[in-house]
Amino acid sequence: MQPGLIIRGFILAADDAQEDCVMAVEAVARWNAVNSRFRAAVVEPVMLQTHGELTAGRQPKPELFETLLLESDFLIGIFRRSIEPHQGEALTHAVRQFVERAGAEAVRLFFVDGEPSAEASPEFEQFRAEMQSRGLVSHVADAAALAEKLRDGLDVLLNGLLHGGQPAPSVETPSADESPRRGDDSLSADATELLREAVLDRDGMIEFVRHAGGLEIKTNGREFVPPGEVRAAVRWQEALEELVAAHLVVDRDEKGFFYEVTAKGFRLGDTLDGS
């Protein structure tokens, strides 16, 4: 990946669902604040609402959909049962186009189900079932749940698009069979400290959790990132990425949430002072 890469994210929602769009944009902003420096990438949100009208039965011109789709790298769609038929037709058509062009791995769809009185059209329900069968759908009950799901979904989607499900390496990767050295000068002090704690953890795991207040990196009962401290979040995420790049920990759940110390990591960790 080249430094300064701009990734365009197509955010789809009905025209009367401005709050949903705001939550998606906030999720993008949080990802940029924590990741842009070390991922060497910035996500730029693209919204249909800023390019055309969906209200009063007026659909954006087909060429507008096509242009936005072609210029975007991933798509996030947010749907409610109360969506008007003409809007639903336009948005579901855009999703299908995008899946065909960019592939399912570049799409995440969120369906807000907390509207039992609203009746969705048969065509909309068919679309929902089709997308769910392809593993692209997350169901949420309300706005609070949607905000959390958006953050998690964006993390997983971008992690997969940028690095095939693995965090971006920030240091040169040594050979897998390289014998660890005591104190290993190739590791930063932060990465060494994080590894030292991880080898003492009962399960040999590092937990990486993102939420409304930022993120948590914790192992062996220690939380490395104080709440709301962006600098600390960036610092310790870089340390975690360094351990991944050196084959000292591995992404165990393939979603970037749990990292397990490898045999090589334990060998090195056992030589570190204080372990």
Which of 44-58, 87-101, 175-189 shows the lowest mean pLDDT across its residues?
175-189
Residue 101: which region, alpha, beta or left (left: phi > 0; alpha: psi -120 to 50)?
alpha
* Partners of residue 260 on adjacent β-strands: 205, 250
pLDDT in tens, 74-90: 999 888 866 777 777 87
Determine phi and psi for 77, rounding to 5 degrees: -115, 135
The pLDDT tens digits of the residues spanning 43-52 come to 988 886 655 5
Judging by DSSP bridges, how do beta strands 249-251 and 258-261 pair with one another? antiparallel
- Please tell me the least confidently modeled range out of 53-62, 115-124, 203-212: 53-62
Residue 95 has pLDDT above 80, yes or no: yes
Q: Say if residue 237's pLDDT is above 80.
A: yes
- Give pLDDT, residue 193: 94
**Range scoring the smallest mean pLDDT among 15-29, 60-74, 118-132, 221-235:** 60-74
Query: How far is residue 10's CA from residue 73's CA, in Å, rounded to a whole number?
Result: 8
Confidence of residue 191 (pLDDT cuts 50, 70, 90): very high
The pTM of the whole model exceeds 0.95: no
Confidence of residue 252 (pLDDT cuts 50, 70, 90): confident
In this predicted model, what pLDDT tens digit does every residue of 116-156 receive, in sequence order? 445 667 888 888 889 988 888 888 887 778 888 888 888 77
Structural contact between residues 173 and 183, judged by C-beta atoms closer than 8 angstroms: no
